[in-house]
Amino acid sequence: MRSTFVVSAFAALALAAPRPQDIEFDLVDAAPDPVVSAAPFTGSSETVTLQPAAAVVTIADASVTDTATTNDKRDFLEVLGKRDGDCSAQPKGTGPTVSTPDDSPSSFYAYQAFQDAATNAATAQGTPQGYSLAFHNLQGSSQTVSYLGYKTLSSYDTIACASYCDQHPQCQAFNIYFERDPTLDPNADSCPNPPSLTNIKCVRWGVQIQAATAVNTGEHRDSFEVVITGSNGYNKNAAPPSQTGFTGPVELGGAINAPNDPVTNTNTYMGYKFFSFSTVQTYAAGVQACTLACTAQTAYNSRHPPSTGKPNVCNQVVVYVLSDENQPQGIYCAMYSEEWASNYATNYGQYRGSDYWSVSQAYAYTNATYSASYGPICAVGGCPDNSFRGGNCGGWGVGTC
Ligand SMILES: *[C@@H]1O[C@H](CO)[C@@H](O)[C@H](O)[C@H]1NC(C)=O
C-alpha cells in the first residue's frame, strides 16, 4: 500500500521520505479471527482458565521466524449447546422479582428500581475507584473478546464487581446488569414460559469494553424471554504493567507516526507484529507478547546481521488495541530503532474500505539500556527546550549510520 515514486527526478526525494506507519493489514489478515464471547444465561458463575504465562513467550518467539505463525486458535470457552429444559427449579434469583403490572420483558425493562440502580452507579460516587464509566443503563450485556468469567451478586454493587475484576490479574473491565431468568428450566411441553426471577450478574473482561459491544440482549428459552437491563460497563484506568528490560509504559494518545530521524534523516520504523486476541487472549498478555517480540526481533537481527552496517535494535515498541468498527481484533506492536516522544502519537485510526480501524490503549515501552543513554526524540513544536533531537543511529552512536 506504500506509494512508490516512478519518476526518476523524484527518486532522491522518495528515498528521503520517511517510511509511513499507517496501520498495515497483512499480518492482521493472516491472524486467526478473535473469539467473541458473552456470559452464559444459565448457571450462577463461571471460571475461565487462561493459557499458562509461558505460552506468551512461545507466541512472541513464533512471530519473528521466517515460518508462518501457527494458527493456534484456542477456543478457551466452554460452548453451551442449546437443549430443551426439564422444568427443574433454577437457583433462586439474587434481585427483586418483577411481576407488576405483569411478569413480562416489558415490565422488567420498565422496573424503576433497576433504572435507579444503574443510574446511581453511573455517577462519580457510584464509580469504583480506579475505574471509569464506559456505558450505563443499556439493555444488553458485553459480547466481545477476552471473556474472563462471571458471578452473580446479591445486590447491584459496583464495588463488589470491581473487586471481582481486581482478583484477576488480567482483568481490564467489568459489566454489571440485571437479567430476567426463568424459575424453572423451560420445557416446550410442560413449562414453556415459567415465572421469572432476577439475577444480578457481574462479568469480567481482559479488554476494555464499550457501548458498541454491549449487544447481548438476551435469548428465547422456549417461550420464556431472557432479557437484560440496567447494564453498566466500567474500564480500569491503570496502565499495563511494566516489562522486564524496558522502561515505560508511556501513555500515548494514538499510534506513533514518526518521521525520519531529524538529524541523520534515516528511517527508524522496523515494521510490526500483530497478535489476535484468539492467540494472546487478553490485553495484558498481548502487551507482554509485544515486548517479548521486540526483544526476540533484536536477537534475530543480531544473528542475521546486514552485510554492511549494524543490525537494527528494537529500542521502542508501541503497543495498542486494534479494533475494526469498535470490535477489538488484537494487539498491534510497532517497532522502532529509536525512541519517539508522545508528540508523534498522531495516528488514531484509519479507514479500510468502509470500515474504521481504531487505535486504543496505546503505550510505548523503551529498551532500558537505550533509555539510560538517550531521551525520546522530540523535534516538533511543543517539545521541551532540552529535548533529544536524534542522531544516535539507532543507539549505535553518532556517525555509525
Ligand atoms: C536492549 O538492547 C540490547 C542491545 O543494545 C539488547 O541486547 C537487549 O536484548 C535489549 N533488551 C530488551 C529487553 O529487549
Atom of ligand 1 nearest to the CA of 246: 13
User: Which residue has its alpha carbon closest to ligand 1 atom 4?
Assistant: 313
3-state secondary structure of 176: strand
Query: Residue 157: its pLDDT value, please?
Result: 97
CA–CA dist 232, 111 (Å, integer): 16
pLDDT in tens, 143-181: 999 999 999 999 999 999 999 999 999 999 999 999 999
Can you give the residue ranges of every domain in the chain? 26-35+55-71+239-395, 83-236
- Tell me if residue 105 falls in helix, strand or coil: helix
Cα–Cα dist 34/330, whole Å: 7
Nearest atom of ligand 1 to the alpha carbon of 395: 5
From 243, 246, 295, the mutation candidate for ligand 1 (largest count of ligand atoms within 8 A of CB) is 295
Q: Using the atom order of ligand 1, give the atom closest to the CA of residue 367.
A: 1
Q: For residue range 55-109, what is the model confidence (pLDDT) as tens digits?
A: 999 999 988 863 222 223 333 333 445 678 999 999 999 999 999 999 999 999 9
Calculate mean pLDDT across residues 209-228: 97
Locate the ligand 1 atom nearest the alpha carbon of residue 299 and give its number. Answer: 9
Q: Which of 234, 243, 205 is CA-nearest to residue 50?
A: 205
200 Cβ contact partners less than 8 Å away, ≥ 6 residues apart: 94, 95, 152, 153, 154, 155, 156, 176, 177, 178, 179
pLDDT band for position 17 (cuts 50, 70, 90)? low
Mean pLDDT, all residues of the chain: 90
Q: What percent of the chain has pLDDT over 90?
A: 82
Residue 228's pLDDT is 98
* Better pLDDT: 15 or 31: 31
Q: How far is the CA of 361 from the centre of ligand 1 (A)?
A: 24
Question: How far from 203 is each of 184, 206, 214, 398, CA to CA, in Å?
Answer: 23, 10, 12, 53
- pLDDT tens string 171-214: 999 999 999 999 999 999 999 999 999 999 999 999 999 999 99
pTM of this prediction exceeds 0.85: yes
- Go through 54-71 and write b for each residue having 16 or more CB atoms within 10 A of its CB, e for each that does not: ebbeebbbbbbeeeebee
List pLDDT tens digits, range 26-49.
899 999 999 899 999 988 899 888
If you search the block for the grid coordinates 417461550, which residue do you land on?
Answer: 223
| Residue 271 pLDDT > 60 | yes
User: So what's the pLDDT on residue 212?
Assistant: 97
Task: Answer with the residue of higher pLDDT: 323 or 13.
Answer: 323
With cell 526518476, the residue in question is 8
Looking at residue 359, the DSSP 8-state letter turns out to be: E
User: Which triple of cell numbers denotes residue 300?
Assistant: 534475530
Q: What is the pLDDT of residue 16?
A: 56
- What values do phi and psi take at 211, rounded to 5? -55, -35
CA of 276 to the centre of ligand 1 (A): 25
Strands (E), 237-354: 246-251, 269-276, 316-324, 327-336, 349-352
Cα separations in angstroms, 183 against 108, 138, 205, 231? 15, 24, 28, 21
Between the CA of 96 and the centroid of ligand 1 the distance, in Å, is 58
Please state, in angstroms and rounded to a whole number, the distance separating the CA atoms of residues 199 and 44. 9
Task: Check residue 18 and report its DSSP letter.
Answer: P
Query: Does residue 7 have a pLDDT over 60?
Result: no
Chain centroid to CA 126: how far? 25
Q: Which bin fits 273, alpha (ψ -120 to 50), beta or left (φ > 0)?
A: beta
- Report how far ligand 1's centroid is from the alpha carbon of 381 (Å): 31
User: In angstroms, what is the span from residue 344 Cα to ligand 1's centroid?
Assistant: 23
Note the pLDDT tens digit of each residue in 332-349.
999 999 999 999 999 999
